[in-house]
Amino acid sequence: MVMTLTLLGEVIYAINVILAIIIIFRQRRDIAAIWAWLLVLLFLPVVGFLIYAFLGRQLPKGKLFKVKSDVQLQLDELLVRQRAQFGNEDLPADLVSNSVQSLVKMFVTANHAFLARKNRVRILTDGKKLFHEMIEDMERAQSSIHIEFYTFYNDQIGQKIRDLLVRKAQAGVEVRVLYDPFGSLGTYRSFFKPLLAAGGHAEAFLARSAIFDFRLNFRDHRKIVVVDGKVGYVGGFNVGNQYLGRKEKFGYWRDTHLRVTGSAVFGLQGRFILDWNATAKSGLLPADRIEPQYFPITRVKGDTNMQIVSSGPDSELQQIKMGYIKLIQTAKQRVWIQTPYLIPDDSVMDALRIAVMSGVDVRIMIPNMPDHPFVYRATQYYAHELAKIGVKIYYYEHGFMHAKTMVVDDRFASVGSANLDYRSFKLNFEVNAFLYDEKIALQLARYFEEDQRVSRLVTAEMFAQQSFVLRFKQSFSRLLSPIL
């Protein structure tokens, strides 16, 4: 009997090994992800496959292809019209410094991300103020409201916005909502029935609902709102009570969002159209021509030149990560970063290491509490590694730090949905605004300094004094970094 069970166990393990090799190597992955998944599948027989079903499966090629092929939408025609109307020069050599022109060109080449000039940008760091302004803008909508969020919860603020959208749809405004079914767990399609009945539209990104979509990867992590094609929002906030500081677990929610008017809104609108068309089975938006109702040309007297950059598993270029690296390489005085998840790959680690060794003041602010245990332990591991090479690590202690910002030399900045981790670089669909404006950069730097006053500097020596158990958890979580 014992021999039979032993033999059965050996057979099961042998089958487990064969299946693990077949599954991992049948699709293209980077070396780090291959070893991480082999570790899980070989050392956790059977259970590892359950974990893989949630975390490891890749998006069907048909869906990836659909997202990728739709990215042929071009705004060149609109930009030519805009330049002709406003008398702008053909190239932005006089509008961005020489040190960042290569970054602008890189985004144009890799992401078709045009340089949007002279926008008006307002930074919003408090959920109550953000939703107050966002709701006011939606109340004023005349033609269209396009919303895309990773999380759209069925709670107090979610219901308030849903009911507002119902009223606007009844008044004849085109309303479209795109939400991620996994990020919006508990929000079922029935939640949007009143909106659908009013003539609005709501779709779960690349899936009907979370019930039939078990992947934790390839999520729509973008946060986009476009009103009448004239006002846009992008950043780190989602729709839910916790983002207004109404969840005791997190307390005050510290995040960063942008309200944008000007031609940069075209980039947000274009991104929404691509994502909508990749998801919706009917009611597609025109992606082969520029419709004035979605891309109205308006004169805005602003000071901010910027690019809207998106990235995701439909491209191997990791455009936002390349932008982060390029900004870090540009730095001469300082690089200040806020991110809830700090799991950088080797290329980002090397960029930060080179910056520190070059005398650049590198500071990274992360939360003082976890919302995902494994991810938080891995974040602590990398925070320790970075502290050892001279990066100043701050634990934010006034609530939960969820902002995704980077400020370089008080001249350039990035604000968006992408964290400094593998998941944002490779596994999720993200969108960031890269801003070339000294005033905006200085304002973000001041916010960082204010947050620093309610944060705790954690040194390499303090990390080294942590218990053996805690350091083991951090090291073990680090092994799973490529798949967290």
Catalytic residue positions? 221, 223, 228, 402, 404, 409
DSSP helix/strand/coil, 144: strand
Run of H or E including 479: helix 468-479
Q: Which residue has the tokens 């040194």?
A: 459
Cα–Cα distances (Å) from 471 to 64, 220, 376, in that order, read 38, 32, 12
DSSP helix/strand/coil, 337: strand
Cα–Cα distances (Å) from 125 to 22, 259, 402, in that order, read 47, 11, 10
Burial class from Cβ neighbours inside 10 Å (0-12, 13-18, 19+) for residue 126 reads middle
The structure tokens listed for 119 are 């926008």
Burial class from Cβ neighbours inside 10 Å (0-12, 13-18, 19+) for residue 391 reads buried
Provide φ and ψ at 144, rounded to 5°: -155, 150
Chain-centroid distance of CA 117 in Å reads 23
The structure tokens listed for 244 are 């207004």
Start-to-end CA span in the chain (Å): 41
The one-letter code for the residue type at 240 is G
Q: Which residue has the tokens 């605004």?
A: 433
Sign (positive/negative) of CA torsion 365, 371, 376, 380?
positive
DSSP helix/strand/coil, 385: helix
Provide φ and ψ at 373, rounded to 5°: -55, -50
